[in-house]
Structure 1
Amino acid sequence: MFKQVTRSLMGCLMAGALFISCQKDNAGTEQQQNQKISQDVLQKISNKGFSTADVHKVTGGYLVEGDILLSEQELASVSSSPNLRIAEVEQYRTNNLVTGLPRVITIRVTGLTQPFIDGTDLAISRYNAQGLQLTFRRVTSGSANITISGFNQGPSGGFITLGSSGFPTNSGNPYNSISMNTNAAAYGSNPNVNYVGSVIQHELGHCIGFRHTDYMNRAYSCGSGGNEGSAGVGAIHIPGTPTGPDAGSWMLACSNGGNRTFNSNDIIALNYLY
């Protein structure tokens, strides 16, 4: 997840899940960034079904599509991920699922301020209100299935990362970490709990296997872009979901930078999987 900042539009947000719809032409930035990434790595990213536009080398691996962290180990593995199609334009893609249901996923917040803790509790309450076989519980000590921690990184190349996570492992466990940016340029000096909670809710969606709802066409919510990539074969249409664009999904690539939770079709998708 990232925020795009231009010199003339410092208030314009671009985020993997939460955007304000002002953008700049960053083709040159993407080309320069990708020139720093080897063709072998870009091919592996493409083979995994992700966009190779604007790939960033970060601690632990490579950041793709704004908020997905792919480790070196994940890039080397063979993808066996199914595709879950919710409609003709906006789609989810699962890269493995959490297994062993019913199951409680523990979450620990470490080294972050109260708004991030409150945002985590908000995201947890929203998931748990759905009555799924997969529920979440925040713990304050010991090990946890998912650890939410912070990093401090300002804007770079017109972008700032708000948060990042990954997909479930082949063993059926959720992705084990979410990183949230504590830099004031990301959420401000007094982060809004609904905003932070919505970002965490989105990143938790990735951790349990959801991809951006409109990964087949980012332009739907972002105003520009295209197909993020669609690895694997097969698609499962969810009965009762639309056959056209669906506004408001919590996993849309772009939004208005504010409060966002599940819409009715998200709830159908969550219940279908969990």
Structure 2
Amino acid sequence: MLKRIYLYCLTATLMLSYYSCSEKETTKIPNSDTESSINENDPVIQRILKAGFKKEEIVAFKDYYMVQGDIMFDKKDTVSRGVHTEQGMSDYLVVYGMRTINVYLAGGFSSINLDGPLNDVIRAYNDIGSELKFVRVYSQAQAHISIVRNDGLEPNVCGAAGFPSPAGKPYGTVNISESTLTGNNLANALQLTQLLAHEMGHCIGLRHTNYLALFEPTPRPIPNSPTSDPFSVMNGNSCGKEWFGFPFFDQMAVQFMYAPTNTSIPSILSPGQTLTQGQFIRSSDYRFTLVMQTDGNLALYHFNQPIWGSGTHGDPSINRCVMQTDGNLVLYDANNVGRWSTGTHRYPGGSLTLQPDGNLVIYQNGVSRWSSNTCCR
């Protein structure tokens, strides 16, 4: 997504200082529909609006909608669900069966060489040590992500991509504007490597680290990561920045989103333990995840699909889930007021278990006292 040239008004030491200090270009995008043609009954449009984007920001192309110049939503991704509100990730991630990702570099580039930069980016992602594995392929038929030339992006946008689909596939296309890169002398090897790392990050679900400064909707948080990081590869408005590798918090973000299967992630919330916003437990087979969302909802997912929730979404003041020693599972808000519970306070020592069959169960001495009734998948 975002690789718009950022317009600085500083000194001549900044490589883009010859640009004027203006707001986002308002030039109409060629071959795009107008805002007035946006159908608010379209489920993809509804998902975009629920995510916090404004109708006047949406531009329709043949196969996708675009907002803020470079955030792409595939028109085929019509599945809708509740929207979640550090460094952040998108609502959907790449599911387990698709985490070996084939990347293809299409032809059509005449003045820039992306071959070496792509190899460097693939190596850097694989060196993070996450569950993901990127593989370079040389046939588009084998590709999960294709890197293509697209000079029809908005003015001063270097590249654009999208987020994983509701079905858990990585976003399939990284669009690169060769004309923008060459026309503004932004095509050295380090700049191209940075650009590809950024756009491929979006394809696997990474949002902009500096979303606050860009006035973008709040993403799902990545625990223990900062709300700003000047070194992040995932900062938006950074076209022309050079590659110096993934900094610590970028690596931590990918490891959190795609923890390797040999990483210990608990499937049990024991008496006295708490999940704060963004924290989760996961079934032992990695198919099911229970997460305390930033929108106040405690939600259970089968891969990317929600199958149960506490029904408390829309109130971000609900910030923690506590497995109490009396056996009750309780959601508390910032004022320490209980807002939802399982009503199991008469079963001291009870613990919460997320089972491999998808059922969420509170057990006391081996006896089931409460469940989400989401077995068996």
- TM-score category of the 2 structures, normalised to the smaller one: 0.7 to 0.9
Count of residue pairs brought into register by the alignment:
239
- In structure 2, the partner of 1:186 is 181
2:68, 2:55 → 1: CA distance?
8
CA distance 1:46–1:23, shift in 2 (3 Å): farther
Given that 1:165 and 1:179 are in contact with CA atoms closer than 8 Å, whether structure 2 keeps it comes out as: yes
Q: 1:23 and 1:168, CA in 2 relative to 1: closer, same or farther beyond 3 A?
A: same
Computing the radius of gyration from Cα coordinates, the structure with the larger value is 2
C-alpha distance in structure 1 between counterparts of 2:6 and 2:34, whole Å: 20
Shift of 1:78: 1.0
Amino acid at match of 1:263: P
Structure 2 partner of 1:255:
238
Q: Which TM-score applies when normalising by structure 2? A: 0.54
List aligned pairs for 1:78-227, cutoff 5 A. 78-80=80-82, 82=84, 86=86, 91-100=87-96, 103-111=99-107, 112=109, 115-141=113-139, 142-153=141-152, 159-183=155-179, 185-188=180-183, 191-218=187-214, 226=215
- Provide the rounded CA distance (Å) in 2 between the counterparts of 1:248 and 1:268: 13
Per-residue deviation, 1:77? 3.3
Structure having the higher strand fraction is 2
Percent identity of equivalent pairs: 25
Could you tell me which residue of structure 1 aligns to residue 217 of structure 2? 229
Q: Distance in 2 between matches of 1:125 and 1:50?
A: 34
Q: What secondary structure does 1:165 align onto? A: strand
TM-aligned CA deviation for residue 211 of structure 1: 0.9
In structure 2, distance between residues paired with 1:254 and 1:126? 22
Instruction: Determine which structure has greater relative contact order: mean sequence separation of CA pairs < 8 Å that are 6+ residues apart, divided by chain length.
Output: 1
Q: 2:76 aligns with which of 73, 76, 79?
A: 73
Q: Could you tell me which amino acid in structure 2 is paired with residue 107 of structure 1? A: V
- 1:62 and 1:69 in contact (8 A); partners too: yes
- Cα displacement (A) at 1:82: 4.7
CA shift, 1:53, in A, is: 6.0
Paired AA for residue 249 in structure 1: S
Query: What residue ranges of structure 2 are gaps of 5+ in the alignment?
Result: 259-377
Structure 1 residue matching 2:209: 3-state secondary structure: coil
Amino acid in structure 2 at the alignment position of 1:269: A
Deviations along 1:136-171, one digit per CA (max 9) or x if unpaired, are 0111124211111112348x6xx2331111111122
Match of 2:223 in 1: 238
Which structure features the higher share of helix residues? 1
In the TM superposition, what is the alpha-carbon distance from 1:102 to its structure 2 partner? 8.4
